[in-house]
Amino acid sequence: MRDRLTIFLVVAAAVVAFVSLVVETASAAPARVQAWYMYSTTASALRSEAYRRGCSFAQAHPGGNRVLLLDFGAARKVSAGAWGALSFGSTVFSNEQILGALKAAADGHHNCYGSGDTIVTYGNSNYRMAASGMTQADAHSAGYYQSYRAQQLDAYQRAVGYNRQNAAVASDIEPSWDSAPMSRAIVDGATAHGYALLYDYGSADGCPASGSGGSCNNGWTVGDVGYVSYSGVAVPLPEIYYTVNADQWTVVRRWWNSTHSWTYRFWGTTATTAVGLSPAGGWDALAARNPGLVLSELTCFC
Protein backbone atom coordinates (compact mmCIF):
# COMPACT_ATOMS: atom_id res chain seq x y z
CA MET A 1 0.00 0.00 0.00
CA ARG A 2 1.25 3.47 -0.83
CA ASP A 3 2.27 5.85 1.94
CA ARG A 4 -0.65 7.90 3.31
CA LEU A 5 0.99 11.19 2.29
CA THR A 6 1.41 9.97 -1.28
CA ILE A 7 -2.21 8.85 -1.43
CA PHE A 8 -3.48 12.22 -0.22
CA LEU A 9 -1.34 14.21 -2.58
CA VAL A 10 -2.32 12.10 -5.59
CA VAL A 11 -6.01 12.24 -4.73
CA ALA A 12 -5.93 15.95 -3.97
CA ALA A 13 -4.12 16.75 -7.19
CA ALA A 14 -6.61 14.69 -9.19
CA VAL A 15 -9.64 16.24 -7.51
CA VAL A 16 -8.68 19.89 -7.37
CA ALA A 17 -5.89 20.10 -9.98
CA PHE A 18 -3.80 22.22 -7.63
CA VAL A 19 -0.18 21.15 -7.94
CA SER A 20 0.97 23.51 -5.19
CA LEU A 21 -0.82 21.37 -2.61
CA VAL A 22 2.39 19.33 -2.38
CA VAL A 23 3.98 19.97 1.01
CA GLU A 24 7.22 18.88 2.55
CA THR A 25 8.61 18.25 5.97
CA ALA A 26 10.68 21.08 7.40
CA SER A 27 13.74 21.12 9.64
CA ALA A 28 12.59 24.20 11.57
CA ALA A 29 9.28 25.87 12.30
CA PRO A 30 7.83 27.63 9.25
CA ALA A 31 6.65 31.22 9.37
CA ARG A 32 3.25 31.36 11.02
CA VAL A 33 0.17 32.50 9.15
CA GLN A 34 -2.91 34.05 10.71
CA ALA A 35 -6.17 32.18 11.33
CA TRP A 36 -9.40 33.84 12.39
CA TYR A 37 -12.56 33.17 14.38
CA MET A 38 -15.55 34.76 12.65
CA TYR A 39 -17.60 37.08 14.90
CA SER A 40 -20.08 38.77 12.56
CA THR A 41 -23.80 38.80 13.30
CA THR A 42 -25.21 39.55 9.81
CA ALA A 43 -24.54 37.96 6.45
CA SER A 44 -23.29 41.23 4.93
CA ALA A 45 -20.95 41.81 7.86
CA LEU A 46 -19.70 38.23 7.55
CA ARG A 47 -18.81 38.81 3.91
CA SER A 48 -17.01 42.05 4.78
CA GLU A 49 -15.14 40.38 7.62
CA ALA A 50 -14.08 37.51 5.36
CA TYR A 51 -12.95 39.92 2.62
CA ARG A 52 -10.71 41.74 5.12
CA ARG A 53 -9.27 38.46 6.39
CA GLY A 54 -8.50 37.29 2.87
CA CYS A 55 -6.79 40.58 2.07
CA SER A 56 -4.78 40.59 5.29
CA PHE A 57 -3.67 37.02 4.70
CA ALA A 58 -2.51 37.82 1.18
CA GLN A 59 -0.60 40.90 2.29
CA ALA A 60 1.30 38.95 4.96
CA HIS A 61 1.75 35.75 2.94
CA PRO A 62 5.25 34.36 3.55
CA GLY A 63 5.33 32.43 0.28
CA GLY A 64 4.82 28.79 -0.50
CA ASN A 65 1.48 27.01 -0.13
CA ARG A 66 -0.38 27.98 3.06
CA VAL A 67 -3.76 27.48 4.72
CA LEU A 68 -6.13 30.41 5.28
CA LEU A 69 -8.28 29.03 8.12
CA LEU A 70 -11.57 30.80 8.79
CA ASP A 71 -13.46 29.30 11.75
CA PHE A 72 -17.17 29.99 11.30
CA GLY A 73 -18.08 28.30 14.59
CA ALA A 74 -19.94 25.22 15.75
CA ALA A 75 -21.53 22.93 13.16
CA ARG A 76 -25.30 23.28 13.28
CA LYS A 77 -28.49 22.10 11.63
CA VAL A 78 -30.11 25.31 10.42
CA SER A 79 -33.42 23.75 9.33
CA ALA A 80 -34.66 20.54 7.74
CA GLY A 81 -32.04 19.63 5.15
CA ALA A 82 -29.95 22.78 5.73
CA TRP A 83 -26.63 23.10 7.55
CA GLY A 84 -24.33 25.81 8.72
CA ALA A 85 -22.52 27.07 11.81
CA LEU A 86 -23.09 29.02 15.03
CA SER A 87 -20.60 31.89 14.78
CA PHE A 88 -18.51 33.35 17.56
CA GLY A 89 -20.95 36.25 17.43
CA SER A 90 -23.70 33.82 18.51
CA THR A 91 -25.41 33.94 15.12
CA VAL A 92 -26.33 30.88 13.08
CA PHE A 93 -25.30 31.22 9.44
CA SER A 94 -26.39 28.84 6.70
CA ASN A 95 -23.85 27.19 4.45
CA GLU A 96 -25.11 29.37 1.62
CA GLN A 97 -24.24 32.48 3.65
CA ILE A 98 -20.89 30.98 4.62
CA LEU A 99 -20.14 30.23 0.98
CA GLY A 100 -20.79 33.90 0.22
CA ALA A 101 -18.25 34.81 2.89
CA LEU A 102 -15.72 32.30 1.54
CA LYS A 103 -16.05 33.80 -1.93
CA ALA A 104 -15.50 37.24 -0.38
CA ALA A 105 -12.34 35.93 1.31
CA ALA A 106 -11.16 34.64 -2.06
CA ASP A 107 -11.89 38.05 -3.59
CA GLY A 108 -10.00 39.86 -0.84
CA HIS A 109 -7.04 37.56 -1.20
CA HIS A 110 -6.94 38.03 -4.97
CA ASN A 111 -7.23 41.81 -4.79
CA CYS A 112 -4.41 42.07 -2.24
CA TYR A 113 -2.26 39.27 -3.64
CA GLY A 114 1.48 39.46 -3.12
CA SER A 115 2.98 35.98 -3.33
CA GLY A 116 2.45 32.29 -2.73
CA ASP A 117 -0.52 29.93 -2.97
CA THR A 118 -3.41 29.72 -0.53
CA ILE A 119 -5.98 27.13 0.50
CA VAL A 120 -9.10 29.03 1.58
CA THR A 121 -10.68 26.86 4.24
CA TYR A 122 -14.19 26.55 5.71
CA GLY A 123 -13.63 25.77 9.38
CA ASN A 124 -16.17 24.67 11.97
CA SER A 125 -16.14 22.69 15.23
CA ASN A 126 -17.84 19.80 17.01
CA TYR A 127 -18.90 22.06 19.90
CA ARG A 128 -22.09 20.76 21.60
CA MET A 129 -23.73 19.44 18.46
CA ALA A 130 -25.87 16.90 20.32
CA ALA A 131 -26.89 19.51 22.89
CA SER A 132 -28.16 21.69 20.04
CA GLY A 133 -30.49 18.86 18.94
CA MET A 134 -28.33 17.38 16.19
CA THR A 135 -28.25 13.63 15.65
CA GLN A 136 -25.31 11.57 14.44
CA ALA A 137 -26.90 11.59 10.97
CA ASP A 138 -27.08 15.39 11.16
CA ALA A 139 -23.36 15.57 12.02
CA HIS A 140 -22.63 13.36 9.01
CA SER A 141 -24.63 15.71 6.78
CA ALA A 142 -22.84 18.74 8.26
CA GLY A 143 -19.49 17.26 7.18
CA TYR A 144 -20.82 16.20 3.79
CA TYR A 145 -22.21 19.60 2.88
CA GLN A 146 -19.23 21.41 4.34
CA SER A 147 -17.12 19.55 1.77
CA TYR A 148 -19.69 20.36 -0.91
CA ARG A 149 -19.31 24.08 -0.18
CA ALA A 150 -15.55 23.75 -0.56
CA GLN A 151 -16.17 22.24 -3.99
CA GLN A 152 -18.41 25.18 -4.88
CA LEU A 153 -15.79 27.63 -3.64
CA ASP A 154 -13.15 25.96 -5.77
CA ALA A 155 -15.46 26.17 -8.80
CA TYR A 156 -15.81 29.91 -8.13
CA GLN A 157 -12.03 30.35 -7.78
CA ARG A 158 -11.50 28.58 -11.10
CA ALA A 159 -14.29 30.49 -12.86
CA VAL A 160 -12.89 33.91 -11.95
CA GLY A 161 -9.27 32.96 -12.57
CA TYR A 162 -7.95 32.83 -9.00
CA ASN A 163 -5.33 30.28 -9.96
CA ARG A 164 -3.16 30.76 -6.87
CA GLN A 165 -6.00 29.58 -4.63
CA ASN A 166 -7.67 26.33 -3.69
CA ALA A 167 -10.40 25.28 -1.22
CA ALA A 168 -10.63 22.82 1.67
CA VAL A 169 -12.50 22.25 4.92
CA ALA A 170 -11.38 22.06 8.53
CA SER A 171 -12.81 21.20 11.91
CA ASP A 172 -11.75 22.01 15.45
CA ILE A 173 -12.63 18.59 16.88
CA GLU A 174 -12.15 18.38 20.65
CA PRO A 175 -13.05 15.38 22.83
CA SER A 176 -14.47 17.55 25.60
CA TRP A 177 -17.01 19.16 23.28
CA ASP A 178 -19.04 16.17 22.07
CA SER A 179 -19.07 12.38 21.94
CA ALA A 180 -16.73 10.39 19.75
CA PRO A 181 -19.53 8.95 17.57
CA MET A 182 -20.96 12.42 16.88
CA SER A 183 -17.52 13.80 16.11
CA ARG A 184 -16.45 10.89 13.92
CA ALA A 185 -19.60 11.49 11.87
CA ILE A 186 -18.30 14.90 10.68
CA VAL A 187 -15.24 13.20 9.20
CA ASP A 188 -17.34 10.40 7.75
CA GLY A 189 -19.59 12.95 6.06
CA ALA A 190 -16.70 14.89 4.54
CA THR A 191 -15.15 11.62 3.39
CA ALA A 192 -18.44 10.48 1.86
CA HIS A 193 -18.51 13.64 -0.24
CA GLY A 194 -14.82 13.20 -0.93
CA TYR A 195 -13.94 16.52 -2.53
CA ALA A 196 -11.45 18.20 -0.20
CA LEU A 197 -9.07 17.49 2.63
CA LEU A 198 -10.42 18.10 6.14
CA TYR A 199 -7.83 19.66 8.45
CA ASP A 200 -8.43 18.62 12.06
CA TYR A 201 -7.12 21.57 14.03
CA GLY A 202 -8.47 20.22 17.31
CA SER A 203 -7.12 18.76 20.51
CA ALA A 204 -6.44 15.48 22.28
CA ASP A 205 -8.09 16.48 25.59
CA GLY A 206 -7.25 14.17 28.45
CA CYS A 207 -5.30 11.70 26.32
CA PRO A 208 -2.19 10.14 27.88
CA ALA A 209 1.16 11.85 27.42
CA SER A 210 3.13 8.62 27.14
CA GLY A 211 2.70 5.13 25.73
CA SER A 212 0.75 4.22 22.59
CA GLY A 213 -2.91 4.18 23.62
CA GLY A 214 -5.41 4.83 26.37
CA SER A 215 -8.45 6.87 27.35
CA CYS A 216 -9.14 10.55 26.80
CA ASN A 217 -11.84 12.96 27.97
CA ASN A 218 -15.57 12.39 27.56
CA GLY A 219 -15.35 8.65 26.86
CA TRP A 220 -12.97 9.06 23.92
CA THR A 221 -9.96 6.86 23.27
CA VAL A 222 -6.66 7.63 21.57
CA GLY A 223 -8.05 5.62 18.66
CA ASP A 224 -11.00 8.01 18.34
CA VAL A 225 -8.61 10.96 18.13
CA GLY A 226 -6.65 9.08 15.49
CA TYR A 227 -9.85 8.46 13.55
CA VAL A 228 -11.05 12.07 13.43
CA SER A 229 -7.58 13.32 12.52
CA TYR A 230 -6.38 10.77 9.97
CA SER A 231 -9.16 8.62 8.57
CA GLY A 232 -10.82 9.24 5.23
CA VAL A 233 -10.00 12.76 4.04
CA ALA A 234 -8.87 14.01 7.48
CA VAL A 235 -5.34 15.23 8.16
CA PRO A 236 -3.99 16.49 11.51
CA LEU A 237 -3.15 20.13 12.14
CA PRO A 238 -3.37 19.87 15.93
CA GLU A 239 -3.43 22.53 18.62
CA ILE A 240 -0.04 22.53 20.32
CA TYR A 241 -0.42 25.13 23.05
CA TYR A 242 1.65 23.37 25.72
CA THR A 243 4.41 20.76 25.71
CA VAL A 244 1.97 18.15 27.00
CA ASN A 245 -0.10 18.61 23.83
CA ALA A 246 2.90 17.53 21.76
CA ASP A 247 3.25 14.49 24.01
CA GLN A 248 -0.46 13.60 23.66
CA TRP A 249 -0.42 13.85 19.88
CA THR A 250 2.73 11.75 19.76
CA VAL A 251 0.78 9.02 21.56
CA VAL A 252 -1.95 9.35 18.89
CA ARG A 253 0.66 8.92 16.18
CA ARG A 254 2.18 5.88 17.90
CA TRP A 255 -1.25 4.28 18.25
CA TRP A 256 -2.01 4.85 14.59
CA ASN A 257 1.31 3.45 13.38
CA SER A 258 0.89 0.36 15.58
CA THR A 259 -2.55 -0.42 14.13
CA HIS A 260 -2.35 0.71 10.48
CA SER A 261 -0.15 -0.02 7.51
CA TRP A 262 0.49 3.60 6.53
CA THR A 263 2.40 6.24 8.45
CA TYR A 264 0.65 8.96 10.43
CA ARG A 265 2.01 12.39 9.51
CA PHE A 266 1.16 15.79 10.92
CA TRP A 267 0.29 18.44 8.33
CA GLY A 268 1.72 21.03 10.75
CA THR A 269 0.37 22.65 13.91
CA THR A 270 -2.20 25.15 15.11
CA ALA A 271 -1.06 27.76 17.61
CA THR A 272 -2.14 30.66 19.77
CA THR A 273 -0.26 33.49 21.43
CA ALA A 274 -2.74 33.70 24.31
CA VAL A 275 -1.23 30.91 26.43
CA GLY A 276 1.66 28.51 26.71
CA LEU A 277 4.21 27.91 23.99
CA SER A 278 5.00 30.33 21.21
CA PRO A 279 3.68 29.29 17.80
CA ALA A 280 7.17 28.22 16.68
CA GLY A 281 7.76 26.56 20.05
CA GLY A 282 4.67 24.40 19.62
CA TRP A 283 5.71 23.31 16.13
CA ASP A 284 9.22 22.57 17.33
CA ALA A 285 7.94 20.54 20.29
CA LEU A 286 5.84 18.31 18.03
CA ALA A 287 8.62 17.97 15.46
CA ALA A 288 11.17 17.03 18.11
CA ARG A 289 8.98 14.12 19.20
CA ASN A 290 8.07 13.10 15.66
CA PRO A 291 11.17 13.70 13.52
CA GLY A 292 10.47 13.86 9.80
CA LEU A 293 6.72 13.53 10.34
CA VAL A 294 5.64 17.17 10.71
CA LEU A 295 4.89 19.13 7.54
CA SER A 296 5.46 22.83 6.97
CA GLU A 297 2.20 24.46 8.07
CA LEU A 298 1.81 26.67 11.14
CA THR A 299 -1.49 28.48 11.49
CA CYS A 300 -2.14 30.71 14.47
CA PHE A 301 -5.21 32.20 16.13
CA CYS A 302 -2.99 35.06 17.27
Q: Are 229 and 184 in contact (CB under 8 A)?
A: no
Stretch 149-156: mean pLDDT: 98
The predicted pLDDT at position 26 comes to 67
Q: Are 144 and 169 in contact (CB under 8 A)?
A: no
DSSP 226: H
Stretch 40-66: mean pLDDT: 98
The predicted pLDDT at position 123 comes to 98
Band of residue 25 on the pLDDT scale cut at 50, 70, 90: low
Domain span including residue 236: 4-301
The predicted pLDDT at position 143 comes to 98
Band of residue 24 on the pLDDT scale cut at 50, 70, 90: low
For the entire predicted model, the pTM comes to 0.93
- 18 or 39, higher pLDDT: 39
Domain count of the chain? 1
| Ranges 19-23, 150-154, 196-200: which has the least confidence | 19-23
Q: Are 225 and 264 in contact (CB under 8 A)?
A: no
Q: Are 260 and 302 in contact (CB under 8 A)?
A: no
* pLDDT tens digits, one per residue of 201-243: 999 999 999 999 999 999 999 999 999 999 999 999 999 999 9
* pLDDT tens digits, one per residue of 261-278: 999 999 999 999 999 999
Q: Are 153 and 103 in contact (CB under 8 A)?
A: yes
The predicted pLDDT at position 14 comes to 34
Q: Are 191 and 184 in contact (CB under 8 A)?
A: no
Q: Are 100 and 44 in contact (CB under 8 A)?
A: no
The domain that holds 190 is classified in CATH as 3.20.20
